[in-house]
Every structure is written in structure tokens, then in C-alpha cells.
Homo-oligomer: A and B are copies of this chain.
Amino acid sequence: MLLKAKNLKTFAEGKKIVIINEADLHNFGTRIPTRLKISYKDKTITAIPNVTETLVEKGYIGLYEEVSSVLKVKDGEELDVDLAPFPESLTYIKKKLKGKKLEYEEFYKIVKDVIDGNLTEAEIAGFVVGLHVFGLDLNEAASLTIAMVETGEKLELTKKVVLDKHSIGGGIGDKTSMLLVPIIASLGYAIPKTSSRAITSPAGTADKVETIMPVNLSIEEMKRVVEKTNGCLVWGGALHLAPADDIFIKVEYPLEIDPLLFPSIMAKKKAVGATHLVIDIPTGRGAKIKTIGDAQILAKDFITLGSLLNIKVNAAITYGEQPIGYSIGAGLEAKEALEILMRRKVVEDQIDKVTSIAGILLEMVGKKNGKELAMKILESGEAEKKFREIIEAQGGNPSIKPEDIPIGKYTYDFVAEEDGFVIWMDNGGFASLARAAGSPIFKGAGVLLYKKVGDVVKKGEKVFTIYAESESKLEDALKVLKEETIIGIGKKRKMLIERIEDSQIAKKRFILER
């Protein structure tokens, strides 16, 4: 059936939707057309039809932006619209739902159909839940990884040794990537770092870097920056590296399941051509991984999967029981990172973490005493110089100073109620606090710490300050502070953390950052 295009300039979170008039519906000779095949010139797309009495006239088809952006058709031009066949990949999803293993070709068909919009949200959920329930072995993980890589863009650099680092998430206040990239790049190695924005954390690396320089680069721009400076710090979301992941994650997040942890991480690394990779596994009560044993199992699987994908992987199990450094929130963290690079501040745990990871990477490519070498680069100012080169190459102001980064004007100081020590800090609690204050949407929002675990605190002394960009957001944060105990201060051997009086539903934090 021929219908005229009407671009609706409307978005549905990546879902491909079209709207047809109910008068045209009958022509399809079926009650519920689950999906329509829409062709324009040499392009064909599958979309989910909504039906209207008035929004789109008879003879027209309204296109959501997710459809418009693929077809690139002008209003009034004719489209060929037909019933779409049931996608073949549904057969493989059903196979997974029977608990069977899938082959590469089967994963490929599924991932391709996910990207092409041939599968509905419910069908994609069927796949993701199937993976969650029945699991996927490392061969399947490798197949799915490659399928995700092959259905997206790829970065191809001149240098054939490409270093990379990835944190599986859960460590808050972590500025490692912002410091690692200039250290590695200034030693002459390529490190094309892509990062995500926050999902459940107060700020993703992309959110932080964005307060200093543009991060929404295209893959061509990213390539230019890396070829010039050896490094980059860009947002992965606009690059179409393993783009299926962005669709899978929308199913995983509400259901709090994460079956694609391995393929998701490794596909993005494979897509930028990484040859040597350190996986950072923050471990401890407040992190995603709670025990060293669990971290070791995860590390082993990453290493094996890496070898199936031709990526040399080492893992770094890192301390994850409190925030890293003294700041939480996009602007505050960016500021601290810049201060470290400028040697205005010595933030011991953060510096130890980045030089440890840099050291592992350097030793993986044959350098000796990697950690010391990384420290030297940081202390000499070479890392700062490289960082400013990258800022300039990405289109930012290379002379930026820490005080140029805007921080919220509405503040609240949390003071100690008694003398003692900081006995524990709750990552999840600090994350809730920073998010309530407006992070990551309001980049000046967050928390600045003055004390860390083990520090002596006097009654009335400031322990941390909350920053917000509006009165109302500050109030939201204060509500969290009132409801949750996020820090333990007291005598060194004070043992009680919380008294539970009724069998309430426990608040559990799900960390999807990966």
C-alpha cells in the first residue's frame, strides 16, 4: 500500500513507531498488524504501528523520528507500506527460552533485528530474560560480543597496539579514566577511551568530562583526536559502537538484571580495536562486587573471554568500600581531577588507583616498573600537558582552570555530632544523596568530602558539604540525609550500624553502570 510520509518529529526512546489512520488499517486484512515494513527508495525499515482517528489523515503515515532518521523522506513523498513478516530471529529467542545454547549466526540475527527495529520491546525482553535465566557460557558470550561489534561502527586506528581500561562500576567518585588517559597517551600509546553517562550512579565519566570539554564526538572526530593526541575522553553513546547494547539496557534496568555484562563491555572494547585491557573490579560492601572471591571469578571469566576475542586482559581488584577521592558529582569530580593533574592536590587513594592501573597496562605492553613510570608522568606535569592537548583536540578550552567549572550555590554542611573517627561510609547512600541534590542532570550538584574512613573527627567539625543548583534540590538531598544513615562516626570500636525494628522491605541498590 502506498502512503504519504508525514514526519512527526517525535521520539519514543529508540522505538520505531509509525501512526496510520484507522481508515487505512483495514487494507492490511489483519486485526493486529504487529509490525509494518516501510520502504523508501533502497531503504526498508520495520516499525510498530499506532492507529489514529485524527492525528494523521487517511492516505498518510506519520513517522516518529526513529523512523524518519533512517528513511530520510520528505513530507508528502510516497512510501510503500506492507505487513512485515515474523522475523526469523524470533525462532532463536524462543530457542533460548527453551534453555538451549545459541550459535554465532543466531545471535547475529537477533542483534541485527534488535537494531533494525524488527523486534518488539516484549520480544527483546524475552531474549534478555532468557539470557538472565539460562545464562550464557563464554563461547556464547564471545559470539554475542562479536555479533554486537559487527552490527555497529568500528574505530580503525593507525596504531595496532591499543590500550584500554574499563571499570565494571560501583566505585563512586572515581576519576581514574580522566587521569589514566593522559598518562598512557603521553607515553605514546593509543588509548581511545569511551565512557558512559550515569544510569544509577551520581555521575558517569562522560558527565564529568563534559564539564571540561565536548564529549559528543562522532566516530570520525574521535579518530582524528586519537590519531593526533593518542588519547580521547568521549561519550560512547553517540558513536554507535555495539549499538544493540543501548536497547538491551532499557530492558535490564527496570528488571534489575544484567546478563549482558560481559558482551556489553567487551563489544565496546573490541569495537575500538583494544588489544590490551585492564578491567577494574571495585570490590567491597558498597560496590557492585562484594567479595574478593566473587571478584576473582569475574576476573577469570573476563580473561578467558578476552582470549576468545583476541584481547589480552588483566583485571585489577580495587578497594570499593568508600568514595574515591573527596568529591562526588560531575562538576566537583572534574574539578578534583584537574587539580590532581595540575598537582594542586595530592589525593592519595585516587592517585594510587590510577597509577596502579596505568602500571598494569604499561607492564602488559612490556614496560618495567609501570606504576613508578605512571607516577613520574603524573608528577612531572606531562599528564596535565597531554590532558590539555586532548581538551583542545576535542574542542574545549585548553587553558581551563579548576575554578572555571561551575558548582552549585546552594549548600549544606554536615557536621559531626560527636568526637571520634569515621568508621564507615556507604557508597549507595552517598550516591542517593548526590542524585537527590540533582546529579547528574545538574552538573554543579554533588557532595564534597573533608573526611574519609579512619579520619579523626571533632564534634561540630564539617564532614562533608552538599552542593545543589536550586533550593528545592537541596531540600530533596536533605530529605535523603534525614531518612538514611550514610556515614558512621564514633568511637573506634563502636559496632552497631543500624537497629531494625520492623520487617520493612529493605532498600537494595542495583548498579547497572558497567
Show the binding face of A for B, using Cβ within 8 Å: 8-13, 17, 19, 22, 29-32, 34, 50-55, 64, 86, 90-91, 93-94, 97, 120-126, 129-130, 132-134, 197, 250-251, 254-257, 438, 440-442, 473, 505
Contact B10 A90 (CB under 8 A): no
Min CB gap A11→B, angstroms: 5
Report the separation of the CA atoms of residues A254 and B22 in the bound assembly, to the nearest whole angstrom. 23
Contact B31 A441 (CB under 8 A): yes
Q: A90, A120, A257: which has the most chain B beta carbons within 10 Å?
A: A120
Contact A120 B254 (CB under 8 A): yes
A12-B50, A125-B126, A129-B130 given; 10 more Cβ-contact pairs under 8 Å: A11-B51, A29-B442, A31-B440, A94-B255, A120-B121, A121-B121, A122-B254, A126-B254, A126-B255, A126-B257
Chain B hits for A134, CB < 8 A: 133
Min CB gap A243→B, angstroms: 17
**A255: nearest residue on chain B (CB-CB)?**
B126
Report the separation of the CA atoms of residues A197 and B256 in the bound assembly, to the nearest whole angstrom. 36
Report the separation of the CA atoms of residues A334 and B53 in the bound assembly, to the nearest whole angstrom. 32
Chain B hits for A32, CB < 8 A: 13
Contact B121 A52 (CB under 8 A): no
16 pairs of residues in contact across A and B, judged by CB atoms under 8 Å: A8-B54, A9-B55, A10-B50, A10-B55, A29-B473, A30-B441, A90-B255, A93-B255, A94-B256, A120-B254, A122-B124, A125-B251, A126-B257, A129-B129, A129-B133, A133-B133
For this chain, the copies found in one complex come to 2
Q: A54, A122, A440: which has the most chain B beta carbons within 10 Å?
A: A122
Contact B91 A505 (CB under 8 A): yes
Chain B hits for A442, CB < 8 A: 29
Contact B438 A29 (CB under 8 A): yes
**A9: nearest residue on chain B (CB-CB)?**
B53
Chain B hits for A254, CB < 8 A: 34, 86, 90, 120, 122-123, 126
**A253: nearest residue on chain B (CB-CB)?**
B34
Contact B97 A129 (CB under 8 A): yes
A interface: dominant SS: mixed
Min CB gap A113→B, angstroms: 12
**A91: nearest residue on chain B (CB-CB)?**
B505
**A126: nearest residue on chain B (CB-CB)?**
B255
Which of B19, B34, B132, B255 is in CB contact (< 8 Å) with A122?
Answer: B255
Min CB gap A408→B, angstroms: 13
Report the separation of the CA atoms of residues A90 and B253 in the bound assembly, to the nearest whole angstrom. 11
Report the separation of the CA atoms of residues A256 and B96 in the bound assembly, to the nearest whole angstrom. 12
Contact A132 B31 (CB under 8 A): no
Contact B197 A9 (CB under 8 A): no
Q: A9, A50, A64: which has the most chain B beta carbons within 10 Å?
A: A50
Report the separation of the CA atoms of residues A441 and B22 in the bound assembly, to the nearest whole angstrom. 15
**A442: nearest residue on chain B (CB-CB)?**
B29
Min CB gap A509→B, angstroms: 13
Report the separation of the CA atoms of residues A32 and B253 in the bound assembly, to the nearest whole angstrom. 12
Known: A55-B8, A130-B129, A438-B29. A97 touches B255 (CB 8 A): yes
Report the separation of the CA atoms of residues A17 and B8 in the bound assembly, to the nearest whole angstrom. 15
Chain B hits for A122, CB < 8 A: 121-122, 124-125, 250-251, 254-255
Contact B257 A97 (CB under 8 A): yes
Min CB gap A259→B, angstroms: 11
**A54: nearest residue on chain B (CB-CB)?**
B9
Min CB gap A511→B, angstroms: 15
Chain B hits for A29, CB < 8 A: 438, 441-442, 473
**A130: nearest residue on chain B (CB-CB)?**
B129
Min CB gap A380→B, angstroms: 39
Report the separation of the CA atoms of residues A129 and B131 in the bound assembly, to the nearest whole angstrom. 11
Min CB gap A257→B, angstroms: 7
List 3 tightest A-B contacts by C-beta distance, closest first: A125-B125, A10-B52, A122-B125
Report the separation of the CA atoms of residues A62 and B34 in the bound assembly, to the nearest whole angstrom. 23
Min CB gap A147→B, angstroms: 19
**A124: nearest residue on chain B (CB-CB)?**
B122
Min CB gap A72→B, angstroms: 17
Which of B50, B120, B441 is in CB contact (< 8 Å) with A64?
Answer: B50
Which of B13, B52, B121 is in CB contact (< 8 Å) with A9?
Answer: B52
Report the separation of the CA atoms of residues A120 and B64 in the bound assembly, to the nearest whole angstrom. 19
Contact B125 A121 (CB under 8 A): yes
Min CB gap A49→B, angstroms: 9
Min CB gap A417→B, angstroms: 31
Contact B97 A133 (CB under 8 A): yes
Min CB gap A322→B, angstroms: 26
Q: A10, A19, A90, A442: which has the most chain B beta carbons within 10 Å?
A: A10
